[in-house]
Amino acid sequence: MIANEREIEVEALAAFRTVEQLAQNLDIGILGLVIILGVTLAIFITRSIINPLKNLSDTVEALGAGDLDAHAQILDTTEIGQLALNFNAMAGRLNQTVSSLTLATEVGRTIAQERDLDILLKSAADLIQDLFDLYYTQIYLLNPVGRRLVLRAGTGAVGGQLLIQRHSLPVDLASLNGTAAVEKRAVIVEDTESSTIHRANPLLPDTRSEMVVPLLVGDQVVGVLDMQSKIAGALSKDNLSAYEALSGQPAVAIQNVELLNETQSARAELEAQSRRLTREGWDDFLNAFERGERVGFTYDLENMTSYMKPITGKTDEHTLVKVIPVLNEPVGILKFEGLVTITASETALVDTIARQVGQQVENLRLLAQAEDAVRRLTREGWEKQLEAQSEAETGFSYDLNKITPLSASANGGDSDVRPTKHNLEILGEKIGEISVSGPDNTSKEIKEFLSTIGDQLATRVENLRLFEETERGQIELERRARQLAAVAEVSTASSRELEVETMLKTVVKLTQRQFDLYHAHIFTFDSETEKLNIVACGWLEGDENEGTHETSSISLDQEQSLVARAARTKQAVIVNDVKNEPGWRPNPLLPDTASEMAVPLVVGDEMIGVLDVQSERVEAFTEEDANIQLTLASQVATTMQNARSFALAQSQAEREATLNVISQKIQTATSVEAVLQIAARELGNALNAPMTIAQLSLKNQD
């Protein structure tokens, strides 16, 4: 073996020397040719690899730039060519997915405009069928108990026929639609002829592929979307993601419509309840024992007389009739007879005054009810007081010698002398009496003396009773009285100013002063920008910012803002310790704010703005404060609306001047009768109507 190895070594060495000799003898030209061939071969190999890669890279860049139709060229059948082929397939699927998502967005945008659920579902089914070139499309919704899928929309004649039949399916695994609803997932049949779960519908004989996608809102199934095609494989797992995105559009639209319907239903119920309460309030008011079922007056350009007959609503070319509304509930009628002409301007004037009459008489009715409530509370208070002191003396007599409890006084006396009595009254409620018996007890001086002493005595004992009920209760009562007076003062001041900005400045200043607040400001709502803009500020007296007004704005959707929250909810918002309120944003100009309350300015259902008040005391505001501020806000909002209406109609200067005069006279009236008389007289003169009737009544009106 060693010898063989040596022989091989010798032969290899000889061969190497031979090759070395040949290399030395090679011609220089041949060597150059070899070099050229090598370079050429290198260039060829480089191009065969680099060019396909560059082509693929360019295609990727085009696709990334948004050219979904870009495809790579297939230059060979190598691994690079196969890569380009796979890339083109991927780009094709991406293009199809993007196109489907675009169509889904179009479906969502179209059906989002519809507010009727049946029309929305029908539009969605038709649109999906047309955009995706389907054979048939239908939508089922769960019934209220969630046990059946009820067909609510279907395309073409088949859909119409099934709807007439009130077609429905149980929510179980016996059907594609039921399975999709139970399992909350899409169910796909790519080829109906080879499927074991597909059930043929004789009304749809050409169905070759079908996909059912659940309509989900969060994790809750509201229905299913059923799509069918004439082409096998047209509906498959490859395009499932696009159709799942598509199903989300009608699902959200359905939820939005249902929420809107619930909101509208709740609002209608609230309005109906408000009208009912208003009518009941007026029914009680007009049925009170001190007034008749009607309160009305007629004016003939000279004389004002009472008018208690029923008024008919019949009109002709010389008669104008307008109802007097309170919260859209008619409580009376304005009627003008014998008019020569009835112009649009005159009709508008009467309509505006009718609303103002309604507002003012409603305010007076509420005030009368408040006074009745105060009297009732006084009576109940004294009943409780006397009940609590059942064992104590509640009366005394004096016989020029000594004071004796009534329980111990001798009955009788001089039976021929009748005592002179004077009732002790508080707010019209009798709480006792004082009497004098003697030979000259009927003299005028005695009667005047009893009246003076009796009034003073009644006031004194009432004050003592209130004090005994607790000093805190007395303070609270006085505070509420001041607040109600402040509301009246602010409302009166605001109603006299027709320039909105000036009126709002007056309102916030008076609000801050009369309610002893740290700060007050008013925002107005801009519906176009969805922002609340501050327009007037009421500062502490002597504050360096007094007389100035901020210019900041708050977005309606700002979560941390109390003002925005009050505007969104249209309800009062109270925070009695702002330092511990999460997300509350302090105003550097108001460092001492401790409590804050925001109340919306609303007219009907229209958001006008927000009144925001602040106190430097913790726990400064109660629900009663909110009610009082809401009353004030309602007055301010109504005044703002009236002022804006006045500004828009300023071109009709003469009519508006007349309206202003009549409005002021109505607002200064202190009784329902005075309001009606003013309305009849002033409108009769303004319209030159031979006969004007203003009446409040809930009965026998046509």
DSSP per-residue codes, 518-558: SEEEEEEEETTTTEEEEEEEEPPTT-TTTT-----EEETT-
Q: What is the mean pLDDT of residues 121-126?
A: 87
- Start-to-end C-alpha separation, the chain: 137
Tell which CATH classification among 3.30.450.40, 1.10.3470.10, 3.40.50.1400, 1.10.3720.10 matches the domain 485-648. 3.30.450.40
Least confident range from 500-509, 515-524, 639-648: namely: 639-648
Rounded Cα distance between 270 and 276, Å, is 10
Tell me: the pLDDT tens digits for 143-173? 888 889 999 999 999 999 999 999 999 999 9
Residue pair 83/56 in contact (Cβ under 8 Å)? The answer is: yes
What one-letter code names the amino acid at 149?
Answer: L
DSSP string, 307-368: --S-------TT-EEEEEEETTEEEEEEEEES-S---HHHHHHHHHHHHHHHHHHHHHHHHH
Q: What is the pLDDT of residue 29?
A: 46
Least confident range from 160-174, 466-480, 493-507, 577-591: namely: 466-480
As a whole number, the mean pLDDT across the chain is: 78
Rounded Cα distance between 615 and 117, Å, is 48
SS3 156: helix
Q: What is the pLDDT of residue 26?
A: 46
In terms of Cβ atoms closer than 10 Å to its own Cβ (0-12, 13-18, 19+), residue 479 is middle
Positive/negative CA dihedral, 166, 171, 173, 178: positive
- For residue 43, is pLDDT > 60? no
Rounded Cα distance between 207 and 174, Å, is 19
Cα 546 to its chain centre, rounded Å, is 34
Q: What is the pLDDT of residue 470?
A: 60
Do domains 112-262 and 485-648 share one topology? The answer is yes
Q: What is the mean pLDDT of residues 4-14?
A: 50
* CATH number assigned to the domain covering 112-262: 3.30.450.40
- For residue 19, is pLDDT > 70? no
Residue pair 320/340 in contact (Cβ under 8 Å)? The answer is: no
> Per DSSP, what are the bridge partners of residue 150?
141, 168
Q: What is the mean pLDDT of residues 675-695?
A: 88
Residue 554, both tokens = 């708050």
Residue 585, both tokens = 């944003």
Residue 39, both tokens = 């370079």
Q: Is this prediction's pTM over 0.85?
A: no
Least confident range from 20-24, 129-133, 200-204, 678-682: namely: 20-24
Q: What is the pLDDT of residue 412?
A: 46
Q: What is the pLDDT of residue 167?
A: 93
Rounded Cα distance between 286 and 354, Å, is 19
Q: What is the mean pLDDT of residues 111-136?
A: 82
pLDDT band for 264, please (50, 70, 90 cuts).
Answer: confident
Q: What is the pLDDT of residue 16?
A: 46
Residue pair 560/584 in contact (Cβ under 8 Å)? The answer is: yes
DSSP-assigned letter for residue 231:
S
Q: Where are the domains of the chain?
A: 112-262, 292-367+652-697, 393-410+417-469, 485-648
Rounded Cα distance between 73 and 474, Å, is 94
Pick from 556, 514, 554: nearest CA to 535: 554
Q: What is the pLDDT of residue 444?
A: 76
What Å distances lie between residue 585 and 559, 563, 589, 596, CA to CA?
11, 11, 12, 12
Q: What is the mean pLDDT of residues 33-49?
A: 51
DSSP string, 37-87: HHHHHHHHHHHHHHHHHHHHHHHHHHHHTT-TT-------SSHHHHHHHHH
Residue 442, both tokens = 């009927």
As a dihedral over the C-alpha atoms of residue 538, residue 540, residue 543, residue 545, rounded to 10 degrees, the angle is -10
- Per cent of the chain over pLDDT 90 is 18
What Å distances lie between residue 100 and 95, 97, 232, 239, 242, CA to CA?
9, 5, 18, 8, 6
Q: What is the pLDDT of residue 39?
A: 46
Q: What is the mean pLDDT of residues 269-289?
A: 77
Residue 298, both tokens = 């007629």
Q: What is the pLDDT of residue 259?
A: 74
With a CB cutoff of 8 Å and minimum separation 6, the contacts of 312 are: 701, 702
* Long-range Cβ pairs for the range 82-86 (8 Å, 24+): 83/56, 84/52, 84/55, 84/56, 84/59
Rounded Cα distance between 427 and 429, Å, is 6
Q: What angle do CA 297, 303, 307 make, to 5 degrees?
A: 20
Residue pair 225/212 in contact (Cβ under 8 Å)? The answer is: yes
Look at the block and give the residue holding tokens 């005069």.
661
H-helix segments, 552-649: 562-569, 623-648
Q: What is the pLDDT of residue 413?
A: 47
Rounded Cα distance between 225 and 215, Å, is 7
